[in-house]
Amino acid sequence: MKQKSAKNKLSGEAGFEEYYAGLYGERWQSIKESFAGEGSAVEYHVTGAEKSYFLDSASVLAALCLPLEGATDILDLCAAPGGKTLVLASRMPVDANLSSNERSPERKHRLSVVVETCLPTSISERVKTSCSDGATWCTRQSECFDRILLDAPCSSERHVIADPKYLNSWSPSRIKTVTTEQWSLLSSAYRLLSPEGILLYSTCALCPEENDGMIERLYKKFNKEGDAFALMSPAPDLSEISDFAQITLPGFEQTKYGYMIMPDKQNGAGPIYFSIIKKNKSCAKSL
Ligand SMILES: C[S@@+](CC[C@H](N)C(=O)[O-])C[C@H]1O[C@@H](n2cnc3c(N)ncnc32)[C@H](O)[C@@H]1O
């Protein structure tokens, strides 16, 4: 009990510092320093598109790690502003369709503009944008997508540090709120995934509860016997996007259930966590 109340007292900039220094130890200082740099933006230009899009090389890598060979129905559940949707769309097989969804109407508008201007018509006509709550999508459909990207809303510490308004109002309860949201989205995404389908879960959070913690929950809920899903190793194939971006892919560190691209070690790229899950059998009984 004592420990819990001490944790709850953490708040604002000092609380944020203490919390993340506790998680990362001596490394925290170099992580913060890497946030102050320029990052690792790359220009992504899909041949035939009106405009280019700029995104972090770690985001390109994460979207490249969702294998698309043989896919026909692809879902990007939390897609705005659309960087990873572009990477998926530009790599998808010619007979595949991509559903690109975003809950916020304003951000969905931005997503639609990105799809229309940063993809040639031959691809954008196979990308359908929608504006709905990804967490409840599984109440309308089930096991109908063979590839899903869930790039979940997260603590995004890099942005918290950059904005005194967020830093001053930070508290650990924010992590609790975010993980509740992430779990609703991840369990919905898992239910939407076809047997034999592949789901890539990602965040830009540093907090392990939002990363490996979510995959651990997925194991507890859907994989008690150990045969319902398996983790896959990343096998990014740079040749799939070499026409669209001049990029050196950042490296990644292994965690218990996934991978982290850390800006202090990867020239400012990231942070991005991702885990790749291959569903082996239907979860219809758990629906
Ligand atoms: C990390 S951002 C996605 C970034 C995007 N994948 C990209 O590469 O540009 C997460 C997005 O999820 C949206 N979001 C939050 N809750 C959602 C929900 N329940 N359903 C769908 N989208 C949601 C947020 O508005 C935000 O735009």
Q: Whose CA is nearest to atom 25 of ligand 1?
A: 104
Measured over the CA atoms of residue 120, residue 123, residue 125 and residue 127, the dihedral's sign is negative
| Closest ligand 1 atom number to CA of residue 203 | 1
Conformational region of residue 86, where left means phi above 0, alpha means psi within -120 to 50, and beta covers everything else: alpha
User: Which structure tokens are listed for 268?
Assistant: 């400012």
Count of the separate structural domains present in the chain? 1
**Residue 286: how many other CB atoms lie within 10 Å:** 12
Q: Model's pTM, two decimal places?
A: 0.96
Per-residue pLDDT of the chain (287 residues; tens, 9 = 90+): 444 455 557 899 999 999 999 999 999 999 999 998 888 999 999 999 999 999 999 999 999 999 999 999 999 999 999 999 999 999 999 999 999 999 999 999 999 999 999 999 999 999 999 999 999 999 999 999 999 999 999 999 999 999 999 999 999 999 999 999 999 999 999 999 999 999 999 999 999 999 999 999 999 999 999 999 999 999 999 999 999 999 999 999 999 999 999 999 999 999 999 999 999 999 976 55
Q: Specify if 194 maps to a domain.
A: yes
**Is the ipTM here above 0.95?**
yes
Q: Specify if 112 maps to a domain.
A: yes
Q: Specify if 9 maps to a domain.
A: no
Q: Give the residue, out of 84, 98, 102, 133, with the most ligand 1 atoms within 8 A of its beta carbon, to mutate for a pocket test.
A: 102
Interatomic CA distance for residues 164 and 141, integer angstroms = 41
**Exposed/middle/buried for 188, CB within 10 Å: 0-12, 13-18, 19+?**
buried
Nearest to 281 by CA among 88, 186, 143: 143
Q: Specify if 14 maps to a domain.
A: no
Interatomic CA distance for residues 114 and 107, integer angstroms = 11
Range of the domain at 57: 39-156+184-286
Q: Specify if 63 maps to a domain.
A: yes
Q: Whose CA is nearest to atom 1 of ligand 1?
A: 153
Q: Specify if 30 maps to a domain.
A: no
Pocket flag, ligand 1, residue 59 (CB < 6 Å): yes
| Closest ligand 1 atom number to CA of residue 107 | 27
**pLDDT attached to residue 7:** 53
Is 80 labeled as ligand-binding?
Answer: yes
Is 73 labeled as ligand-binding?
Answer: no
Q: Specify if 236 maps to a domain.
A: yes
Catalytic residue among 65, 138, 154, 204: 204
Q: Give the residue, out of 61, 65, 75, 78, with the most ligand 1 atoms within 8 A of its beta carbon, to mutate for a pocket test.
A: 78
CATH number of residue 194's parent domain = 3.40.50.150
**pLDDT attached to residue 38:** 80
Long-range contacts (CB closer than 8 Å, 24 or more residues apart) made by 129-133: 129/79, 129/100, 129/101, 129/102, 130/99, 130/100, 130/101, 130/102, 131/101, 131/102, 131/103, 131/104, 131/105, 132/101, 132/103, 133/103
Residue 144 is among the residues annotated as catalytic for this protein = no
Is 102 labeled as ligand-binding?
Answer: yes
Interatomic CA distance for residues 179 and 177, integer angstroms = 6
Look at the block and give the residue holding tokens 């109440």: 139
Look at the block and give the residue holding tokens 């997925």: 218
3-state secondary structure of 264: coil
**pLDDT attached to residue 36:** 87
Q: Specify if 279 maps to a domain.
A: yes
Is 84 labeled as ligand-binding?
Answer: yes
User: Which structure tokens are listed for 144?
Assistant: 């109908």
